Structures are given as structure tokens and as C-alpha cells.
């Protein structure tokens, strides 16, 4: 799962995409009957085609009220089943999770069918909006045929579990995603061959999912057609308060704005890799996929030692500071226990564990304090008691970070992560708390509106805060020394941010370029891998070492969101929107000077504006919500370009004399 079952499973419409509480099944049945839902659920497609949808038995207002009540009642059990599936991967939890999901999706299909019988004309704005969301929001459109629905939910659970439990094994030596990632992240000490082996090793975990994914596509496409859409991608693109085709063009337009900046960064990086690795440092102008410090080449922060523009100009090594903090925690624990010599191996491991939990908790408290510093509430006690902050030692879990809203009053919210003391993970915590604070902000909206203005908004909340984590802010919380003030320091700071934010942009776009193609049939299963690498080449300018990766692989499946079925364009949009939010909040805080120097920590006015925006949830079209915060109704990358202006000029200078760009094979 993703940020939360609510915010992401159905990608908009409260995705307690998962099912019905056993204890209230009778109540739900009664509800369904009074809402006229049972009759509708019984409508086969052909009946509908022959006679048209049945006339609604309830007024639209009554129908929406019933949906809200049902969501309120079903959410806790659905989310609990999903939580179990992700935090105790085994046969039983998969069974419980997929059964819950099955019941929810069957109910959701009833809602969709019923919603289609209502015209929004003449309805009050709120009811019309709710009906519109019901008709258009689903990330996993499900077939009405009960056998196919069951098959779909079983496949979804199986793929999620396979990914979560995925390991790269050489003989009996098996490494999970955290261990594989550590090899790649250590770009200074891991050799070219070690990184390549780790990268290829991780990609083996996806091979067994290929057949499941092919079937998954068939089944959700059937569900999409029954909803009245051409395919699943068409449903995904319907969630943006604009025609699906316009949305495609919108994504292309935004990419066009930032592409030149990315190409400069790619060119600079490739050159540095060539200097380090010689001929092996690039492949026809593209970056070898295993050399960016990240399994998917989406965040290049681990290349900092190679790419740092000016060495020794103010250290920004947050990871080092966090690791030292953990060492200190451990040293204190050991000394309290009477010193290392008095401890058995088991006791030492126990203290290591306690140190892991303590540093993870401190990092999370740090993130919380940014939000409370803006005037937002403290996290509820249940967050601390129920969250999974570190990787359990005794079982497989989905380590991919997520934030959860367990019930519609948001009295239970959780984070699930396998936190390690690194800068990247610290950023991810701020990101996840962005989801959590969004849940807390819109909890008083009707359940059907308890989601992001669009899914990119949900992803952008925490990231907006990340932009405020300037060297000055990091110094204020004791993670780096007092920052240097110079042009060189500016470029260093910009590079640090660009390796996270700019490197990500084409990746954020290409994943769904691939899935849209898979769903609309232009990418057939025989070409899954070929198309994947064509898109990686076209957008990111990266390529696998060792030549063509054949169709025996399923490299898309090695990225969480593909088996997890989380639409990905949201992250691309977020990486544009977060700069717009940041600029608006900087303005609200009275910031003067270059945008990249703005840190709105502790500013109540910025906090008020942000919270007010978040409180809207999905109760109105996102354009309106954006306007209330920024004054404009369009997503626009000019704030990205304004922010990175110094770096872009610097990169252009550095790249002078280089032939930038690359020759991507045509798809
Ligand atoms: O999946 C996530 C979050 C949960 S919504 C950890 N992100 C994307 C990813 O890791 O691929 C955040 C940035 C992009
Ligand atoms: Zn997220």
C-alpha cells in the first residue's frame, strides 16, 4: 500500500478499497437495500445495456449520505486487514487481506453502479462532487463477475507479498531490499561489479510476478470497461478534474518546462561517472542503471561524494550526523548496562535494537516538530503506539514507507517504515508525516471527500516541508554545522536538493507512461521489458549495463508501485506542485530574497495557509484549492526553475564543451 489505504488504494475516493466489517454486515446489507444498491449490483452489463440503468430509489443526497455512513463503518476493518497484510507477510494475512479487499471492491462496484444512475445536474455542489468522485475514482477497477473479482484481489495480495518478501539470494546468502540498497548507496566503497550484482540481484525478485501482472491488467481493464472507461489508465487519468486527454497533454507540458534542467544534470553526472569509471561510466551517453546509488535511478543523493560541487564548503552530511547520534545512543545503553564485556551476544543485539528504535523515534519526533512548529497538532498517542518504525526481526514486512488513516475520524493514524539513520530516510519521514497531517486536516470532511485535492497534492505536502529544510534549518536542529555563506555554498545546497528533486522528475513521469501503454494495449506482454527500457532511455537517459534485458525479466515489477498498483504520475505532479506550495508559503511568511533561501519553519502564517488548504480535502476541484493557496489555477513549473536558477547556470558552465543529450532507442 501507499500513503494510506484511504489516500492511495483507490487513488482518490476513500480507498478503504478494502471491505466490510463482519459485525455490521447485516447493517450494511440493510443499508445497501435502502440505498437501492443491491438491485443495482445485480444488474449485469447486458441488462444495463438493454434497458439502461435502473432509476434511483433514493435521492442523490440520501445516496451520498449512505455511502458516507458505509465508508465510516467499513474503513477500520479494511485498513486493519491491509495493515496485517503489509506487516505480517504470510499465507493467512494474504487471505484476510484479499478477502477484505474483495468485499470492499464488491461494495464499491455497487456504489459506482448506483452513482451512474444519478445525473449531477441540478444537485447542490457538494452532492454533485461526491457523485462525480464515485463515478471516476478507482485505482483498481474491479470486474463485477465475483469469480474474477476474487481472482483480482488474490493476485493483488500475492504481488504485494512477493515484493515485500523479495530477496536476492546467492546460495543461502539472501539479502532484502534494505541490504541491497545499502550496497548501491555506498557509492564510494562498493565496486562497479558489486553494485551491478546487487542491482541485477534485486531485479530477479520481479520475474515470478510477470504472469500475475499480465492477468492483473486484463482483470482491471475489464473492471474499467464496466465503469464506462476504455481501460484502467483511462480511469486513473479521470481523477484530475479535466478530460483525460487534456491531462496527458498537461503532464507533457510540465515535463517540457523542466526537461532542459534535467538534461543539464544528467550531462554533468554522466561526465563525472565517466571520469570515475572510464568507458564503463556511460552507455551511449546514458547513465548505467546500477551507478546512481538507487535501484531505480530516481534519487541520486548517494552520488553526493562524486557530484558535490565544492568540497569542504560547509558539510551537509546529515547521514553522518544521524549515524553518530545512533552510535551515541548505543554507547549510552551499553554503559548503562555495565559495559560491553558484561553482555552476552543476545543482550548486545537487544541493545542494538533499542538503539535502532530510539534513533527512529527521534527522527520521527524531529519531523513532527516541524509540523507542530507551524501550529499543527501533535500526533495522536496511537501514532506512537501503533506505528511500525523499524523493520521487525522475526518476519517479512513491506518495508516501503507508507502512512495510514485507519478510521474516518482520524483518531488512529500510523506510519509504516523500516527507518535507518540516513538523510534520505529522514526526508521520507517528513514526506510520510505530510500524508498524516493531511489526514488530520481533512478529518471533518465527509468520508467521500477525505482524500487529496488530487493525488499529487497528497504527495506534495511533506515534500514542501522538505524544501524548507535548508542548511540553516538543518543547523538549527543540530544536524549540520553552521552553514557557510558563499556562492559556492549556494551551489552545494542546490546540488544537494537537485539530486533528490530534479533527478526524480523523468522517473516520476515514465512509470505511468509505461503503465498507460500496458493498460491501453499499445505495450503488449511480449514487449513489457523492451518498452520499459525504451522509456527509461527516453526520459531518464539511463540504460542497463550488459545490453538488452530480455523478456525473461519483468523489471517494472522491481519497483514497489507496480506490484503495489499505486499510480505514479502523482509523484511527478508533486515534484512540480511542491515548489508552487513552497513559494506561496514563503510569500505568506514574508520571506524576502531568493526563493531557495526560504525556510518557513515556525512561521504561523505559513502554517495557517497550509492547514487551510489541507482541510479542503477533495471537497472541491483541485484548481480551486490551488488557487486559494497560490492565486493560480494551473500546475506550473516556473517555481522549480526559479528555485534552481543558480544551479542551472552553473551546470551549463560545467557542461560547456560536452555533447549533452543521448541517443535513446526509439520505442
Ligand atoms: O512511495 C513513495 C513514498 C510513499 S507515498 C515513500 N515515494 C515515491 C517512491 O519512493 O518511489 C516518495 C517519493 C517517490
Ligand atoms: Zn507519499
**Is 570 annotated as ligand-binding?**
yes
- pLDDT of residue 40 exceeding 60, the answer is no
pLDDT of residue 53: 56
Max alpha carbon distance in the chain (Å)? 82
pLDDT of residue 232: 98
CA of residue 396 to ligand 2 center, whole Å: 22
Mean pLDDT computed over 255-265: 98
The dihedral region occupied by 122, where left means phi > 0, alpha psi between -120 and 50, and beta the remainder, is left
Please say if 132 is a catalytic residue.
no
Nearest alpha carbon, ligand 1 atom 7: 571
Question: Which of 203, 454, 458, 561 is an active site residue?
Answer: 561
Q: Is residue 431 within 6 Å of ligand 1 at its C-beta? A: yes
pLDDT of residue 51: 45
pLDDT of residue 139: 92
CA of residue 35 to ligand 1 center, whole Å: 38
Mean pLDDT computed over 454-481: 95
Q: Is residue 3 within 6 Å of ligand 1 at its C-beta? A: yes
Would you call 388 helix, strand, or coil by DSSP?
strand
Q: Is residue 294 within 6 Å of ligand 1 at its C-beta? A: no
Q: Is residue 89 within 6 Å of ligand 1 at its C-beta? A: no
Residues whose CB is less than 8 angstroms from the CB of residue 551 and which lie 6 or more positions away in sequence, other chains included: 526, 527, 528, 529, 530
Average per-residue pLDDT for the chain? 91
Q: Is residue 404 within 6 Å of ligand 1 at its C-beta? A: no
Burial tier of 526 (Cβ tally within 10 Å: 0-12, 13-18, 19+): exposed
Q: Is residue 401 within 6 Å of ligand 1 at its C-beta? A: yes
Grid cell of 428 as nine digits: 521520507
CA of residue 23 to ligand 1 center, whole Å: 35
Q: Which residue has the higher pLDDT, 41 or 102?
A: 102
For 195-242, the DSSP string reads: HHHHHHHHHGGGGGGHHHHHHHHHHHHHHHHHHT-SSHHHHHHGGGSS
**Is 435 annotated as ligand-binding?**
yes
pLDDT of residue 55: 66
pLDDT in tens, 426-459: 999 999 999 999 999 999 999 999 999 999 999 9
Give the separation between CA 560 and CA 412, rounded to whole angstroms: 25
Using CA atoms, how far residue 155 sits from 223, 228, 563, 625, in Å, is 15, 23, 9, 37
Q: Which atom of ligand 1 is nearest to the CA of 3?
A: 5
Would you call 149 helix, strand, or coil by DSSP?
helix
Per DSSP, helices labelled H in 17-90 are: 25-34, 37-42, 45-51, 60-87
pLDDT of residue 509: 98
At how many degrees (to 10) do helices 60-87 and 25-34 cross? 150
Per domain, the residue ranges of the chain are 13-17+317-483+591-646
CA proximity to 424, closest of 318, 520, 312: 318
- pLDDT of residue 21 exceeding 60, the answer is no
Give the separation between CA 592 and CA 332, rounded to whole angstroms: 44
For the chain, helix (H) and strand (E) counts, in that order, are: 27, 6
- Ligand 1, residues 459, 502, 562: which to mutate, most atoms within 8 A of Cβ? 459
Yes or no: say if 360 and 399 are a contact pair by the CB < 8 Å rule.
no
> Could you tell me what percent of the chain has a pLDDT over 70?
91
Q: Which residue has the higher pLDDT, 433 or 481?
A: 433
The dihedral region occupied by 143, where left means phi > 0, alpha psi between -120 and 50, and beta the remainder, is beta
Mean pLDDT computed over 74-101: 96
CA of residue 399 to ligand 2 center, whole Å: 14
- pLDDT of residue 77 exceeding 70, the answer is yes
Mean pLDDT computed over 333-353: 95
Q: How confident is the model at residue 314 (pLDDT cuts 50, 70, 90)?
A: confident
Q: Which atom of ligand 1 is nearest to the CA of 459?
A: 5
pLDDT in tens, 218-254: 999 999 999 999 999 999 999 999 998 899 999 999 9
Beta bridge partners of 173: 170
Give the separation between CA 16 and CA 568, rounded to whole angstroms: 19
- pLDDT of residue 470 exceeding 50, the answer is yes
Question: Which of 77, 110, 432, 534 is an active site residue?
Answer: 432
Nearest alpha carbon, ligand 1 atom 6: 401
Instruction: For residue 564, give the ligand nearest its CA.
Output: 1
- pLDDT of residue 125 exceeding 70, the answer is yes
Would you call 414 helix, strand, or coil by DSSP?
strand
Yes or no: say if 202 and 559 are a contact pair by the CB < 8 Å rule.
no
pLDDT of residue 665: 58
CA of residue 246 to ligand 1 center, whole Å: 25
**Is 431 annotated as ligand-binding?**
yes
Q: How confident is the model at residue 42 (pLDDT cuts 50, 70, 90)?
A: very low
Q: Is residue 297 within 6 Å of ligand 1 at its C-beta? A: no
- pLDDT of residue 144 exceeding 90, the answer is yes
- pLDDT of residue 378 exceeding 90, the answer is yes
Q: How many residues are given for the chain?
A: 667
pLDDT of residue 315: 79
Q: Which atom of ligand 1 is nearest to the CA of 458?
A: 5
CA of residue 571 to ligand 2 center, whole Å: 8
Rounded to the nearest 10 degrees, how much is the dihedral formed by the CA atoms of 120, 121, 126, 132? Answer: 30
Q: Which atom of ligand 1 is nearest to the CA of 8?
A: 5
- Ligand 1, residues 164, 400, 433, 574: which to mutate, most atoms within 8 A of Cβ? 400
CA proximity to 359, closest of 322, 309, 384: 322
Least confident of 18-27, 60-69, 191-200, 534-543: 18-27
- pLDDT of residue 479 exceeding 90, the answer is yes
pLDDT of residue 54: 61
Q: How confident is the model at residue 497 (pLDDT cuts 50, 70, 90)?
A: very high
Please say if 575 is a catalytic residue.
no
Mean pLDDT computed over 374-394: 97
Burial tier of 602 (Cβ tally within 10 Å: 0-12, 13-18, 19+): middle
Rounded to a whole number, what is the distance in angstroms from the first to the last CA of the chain?
31
Q: Which atom of ligand 1 is nearest to the CA of 298?
A: 11
Amino acid at each position: 500500500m501507499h500513503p494510506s489505504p484511504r489516500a492511495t488504494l483507490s487513488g482518490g475516493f476513500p480507498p478503504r478499497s478494502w471491505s466490510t466489517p463482519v459485525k455490521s454486515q447485516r447493517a450494511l446489507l440493510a443499508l445497501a437495500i435502502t440505498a437501492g444498491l443491491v438491485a443495482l449490483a445485480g444488474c449485469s452489463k447486458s441488462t444495463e445495456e438493454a434497458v439502461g440503468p435502473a432509476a434511483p430509489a433514493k435521492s442523490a443526497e440520501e445516496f451520498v449520505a449512505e455511502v458516507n455512513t458505509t465508508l465510516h463503518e467499513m474503513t477500520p476493518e479494511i485498513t486493519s486487514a491491509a495493515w496485517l497484510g503489509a506487516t505480517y507477510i504470510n499465507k493467512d494475512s494474504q487471505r484476510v487481506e484479499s478477502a477484505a479487499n474483495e468485499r470492499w471492491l464488491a461494495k464499491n462496484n455497487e456504489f459506482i453502479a448506483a452513482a451512474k444512475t444519478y445525473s449531477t445536474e441540478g444537485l447542490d455542489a457538494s452532492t454533485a462532487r461526491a457523485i462525480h468522485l464515485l463515478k471516476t475514482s478507482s485505482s483498481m477497477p474491479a470486474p463485477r463477475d465475483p469469480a474474477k473479482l476474487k481472482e483480482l484481489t488474490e493476485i493483488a495480495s500475492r504481488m504485494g507479498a512477493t515484493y515485500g518478501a523479495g530477496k536476492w539470494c546467492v546460495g543461502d546468502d539472501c539479502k532484502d531490499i534494505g541490504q541491497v540498497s545499502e550496497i548501491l548507496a555506498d557509492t564510494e566503497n562498493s565496486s562497479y561489479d558489486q553494485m551491478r550484482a546487487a542491482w541485477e540481484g534485486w531485479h530477479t525478485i520481479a520475474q515470478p510476478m510477470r504472469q500475475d501482472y499480465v492477468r492483473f491488467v486484463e482483470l482491471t481493464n475489464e473492471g474499467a470497461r464496466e465503469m464506462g472507461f476504455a481501460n484502467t489508465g483511462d480511469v486513473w487519468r479521470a481523477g484530475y478534474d479535466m478530460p483525460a486527454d487534456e491531462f496527458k497533454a498537461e503532464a507533457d507540458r510540465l515535463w517540457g518546462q523542466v526537461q532542459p534542467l534535467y538534461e543539464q544534470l544528467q550531462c554533468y553526472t554522466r561526465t563525472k561517472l565517466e571520469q570515475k569509471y572510464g568507458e564503463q561510466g556511460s552507455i551511449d551517453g546514458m547513465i548505467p542503471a546500477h551507478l546512481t546509488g538507487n535501484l531505480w535511478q530516481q534519487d541520486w543523493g548517494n552520488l553526493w561524494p562524486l557530484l558535490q560541487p565544492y568540497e569542504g564548503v560547509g558539510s551537509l552530511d546529515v547521514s553522518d550526523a544521524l549515524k553518530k547520534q545512533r552510535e551515541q545512543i548505543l554507547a549510552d545503553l551499553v554503559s548503562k548496562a555495565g559495559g560491553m564485556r558484561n553482555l552476552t551476544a543476545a543482550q548486545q543485539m537487544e541493545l542494538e535494537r533499542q538503539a535502532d528504535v530510539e534513533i527512529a523515534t527521534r527522527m520521527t519526533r524531529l519531523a513532527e516538530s516541524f509540523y507542530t512548529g507551524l501550529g499543527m497538532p501533535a500526533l495522536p498517542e496511537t501514532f506512537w503506539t501503533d506505528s511500525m518504525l523499524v523493520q521487525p526481526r522475526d518476519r517479512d514486512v513491506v518495508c516501503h514507507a507508507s502512512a495510514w488513516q485507519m478510521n474516518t475520524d482520524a483518531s488512529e493514524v500510523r506510519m509504516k517504515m523500516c527507518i535507518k539513520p540516513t538523510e534520505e530516510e529522514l526526508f521520507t519521514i517528513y514526506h510520510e508525516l505530510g500524508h498524516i497531517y493531511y489526514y488530520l486536516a481533512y478529518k471533518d470532511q465527509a468520508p467521500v471527500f477525505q482524500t487529496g485535492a488530487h493525488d499529487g497534492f497528497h504527495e506534495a505536502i511533506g515534500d514542501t516541508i522538505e524544501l524548507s529544510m535548508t542548511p540553516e534549518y538543518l543547523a538549527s536542529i543540530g544536524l549540520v554545522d553552521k552553514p557557510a555563506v558563499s556562492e559556492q555554498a549556494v551551489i552545494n545546497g542546490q546540488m544537494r536538493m537537485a539530486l533528490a528533486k530534479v533527478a526524480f522528475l523523468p522517473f516520476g513521469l515514465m512509470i505511468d507512461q509505461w503503465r498507460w501503454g500496458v493498460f491501453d494495449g499499445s505495450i503488449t506482454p511480449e514487449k513489457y521489458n523492451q518498452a520499459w527500457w525504451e522509456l527509461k532511455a527516453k526520459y531518464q537517459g539511463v540504460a542497463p549495463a550488459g545490453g538488452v534485458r530480455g523478456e525473461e525479466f519483468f523489471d517494472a515489477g522491481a519497483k514497489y508501485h507496480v506490484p503495489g498498483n499505486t499510480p505514479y504520475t502523482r509523484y511527478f505532479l508533486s515534484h512540480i506542485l511542491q515548489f508552487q506550495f513552497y513559494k506561496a508559503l514563503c510569500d505568506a511568511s514574508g520571506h524576502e530574497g531568493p526563493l531557495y533561501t526560504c525556510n518557513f519553519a515556525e512561521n504561523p502564517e505559513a502554517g495557517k495557509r497550509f492547514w487551510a488548504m489541507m482541510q479542503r480535502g477533495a471537497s472541491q476541484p483541485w484548481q480551486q484549492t490551488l488557487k486559494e493557496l497560490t492565486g493560480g489555477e494551473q500546475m506550473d513549473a516556473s517555481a522549480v526553475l526559479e528555485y534552481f536558477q543558480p544551479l542551472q547556470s552553473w551546470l551549463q558552465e560545467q557542461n560547456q564543451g560536452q555533447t549533452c543529450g543521448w541517443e535513446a532507442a526509439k520505442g
